[in-house]
Amino acid sequence: MKTIFLSLLLMVGVGCFAQTKTSVEKQGDAKIEAFYFHNTRRCETCKAIENVSSEALKTMQIQLKSLNIDKDENMAIAETVGAGGQALIITNGKKNIDLTNKGFMYARSNPDKLKAAIEKAVKELDNE
């Protein structure tokens, strides 16, 4: 998709650059972000959730932001997306999808199922 977009941009020329910039700004409003909130002390499942989620999101060019909720500076972000504790949240700024339970259920036993849930959440938020 990006290749097609860039090709069109080159073919149309400099005159359409301002219009392209506007559409990029509109897409930026619906930017999808992923957060993993964790405590300072972490178990193997917590580490697996972060690793599997990060790997799944990387294929979609989304970076997982792993934040320690024991640090005061991360609490405002946690409150913004509705995380009251350890949580895996995918958001587009308007809607949050909480995948915490799936993370704990599947990160170690069936990582492909967690990856599929993450993909589904990203697609859902991308279509809004």
Q: How many domains does the chain have?
A: 2
pLDDT tens digit sequence for 6-40: 343 334 333 333 332 222 233 445 699 999 999 99
Residue 69 · residue 40 · CB < 8 Å = no
Structural domain boundaries, residue 89: 31-126
- Show the CA angle centred on residue 64, arms to residues 71 and 6, nearest 5°: 140
| pTM reported for the whole predicted model | 0.73
Q: What is the pLDDT of residues 55-95, one digit of tens each?
A: 999 999 999 999 999 999 999 899 999 888 899 999 999 99
Give the CATH number, domain containing residue 73. 3.40.30.10
Answer yes or no: do 9 and 47 share one domain: no
Say if residue 36 is in the same domain as residue 64: yes
- Rounded to an integer, what distance in angstroms lies between the CA atom of residue 126 and that of residue 97? 12
